[in-house]
Amino acid sequence: MDEDEAQKQRLKAAVHYTVGRLCQDIAADCEKQITKQTIAAIAETAFRQCDIFAKDLEAFARHAKRHTVTVDDVKLTARRTTALYNYIQQKSEELALNNQELKEKRKKNAAKRKSKDMEAEEENELED
Amino acid sequence: FVAKSLVVFHVHGFSSTVSSDAVILVAELLKVFVEEATRRAVKQADSEDCDTIDIEHFEKILPQLLLDF
């Protein structure tokens, strides 16, 4: 159990660091100072919220009789505010597009390699 | 920021796995959460004519923030 605790602490520290950077950026944007206490509070809240999200996600996946949490589960978790839901929807569509592009690139590369291989084979045959 | 996606993945190693796209989305979700929290706190500090974002400002916006997420 100590290992879990140690890992938890490390994750909390990572979150704190990232949250701190994000907060500083926004505070600088709005020309305000932010106290360390506040950053710590935001980090702690984010960590706990993450916990809640994860429990929801796992419950959704189990409800759909799946073992893997998918994008649809995440979309459900973001259902409370319409704007948030739309934002997540947008991002998921971007991701889907990216995945498609990657797949097509791979297909092209595979096709190129196949044609190169075939050319190499033909050359070998000719030499023989 | 990739660190956050790792966070999500580890912290909640329950009995299921997560698709890589879902991890990216959750990271986005958390980022929005943090940004929203900070901006609301800024607004609160603004409305009280404060230059510094104090923990009290954050505490005041916390309830609504949690309800919205």
d(CA A53, CA B29): 10
Confidence of residue B9 (pLDDT cuts 50, 70, 90): low
Give tens-digit pLDDT for A88-123: 888 888 888 888 898 899 988 888 888 777 777 766
Q: Which of residues 29-48 of B touch A (CB under 8 A)?
A: 29-35, 37-39, 41-42, 45-46
**Of the given ranges (A9-13, A43-47, B4-8, B34-38), which has the lowest mean pLDDT?**
B4-8
Strand-pairing partners, residue B18, are A69
Nearest to B53 among A18, A34, A84 (CB): A34
* B60 and chain A in contact, CB less than 8 A: no
Mean residue pLDDT of chain B comes to 81
Report CB contact under 8 Å: B54, A70: no
**Residue A34's closest chain B neighbor by CA?**
B53
Ramachandran class of A91: left when φ > 0, alpha when ψ lies in -120 to 50, beta otherwise: alpha
Choose from B24, B26, B39, B60 for mutation: most chain A CBs within 10 A. B26
- CB-count burial class (<10 Å; 0-12, 13-18, 19+) for A33: middle
Give tens-digit pLDDT for A41-82: 888 888 888 888 888 888 888 888 888 888 888 888 888 888
In the predicted structure, residue A128 carries a pLDDT above the cut 60: no
Give tens-digit pLDDT for A15-38: 888 888 888 888 888 888 888 888
Strand-pairing partners, residue A34, are B53
Choose from A49, A52, A87 for mutation: most chain B CBs within 10 A. A49
In the predicted structure, residue B2 carries a pLDDT above the cut 60: yes
Confidence of residue B6 (pLDDT cuts 50, 70, 90): low
| Mean pLDDT of the B30-53 span | 86
d(CA A18, CA A67): 30
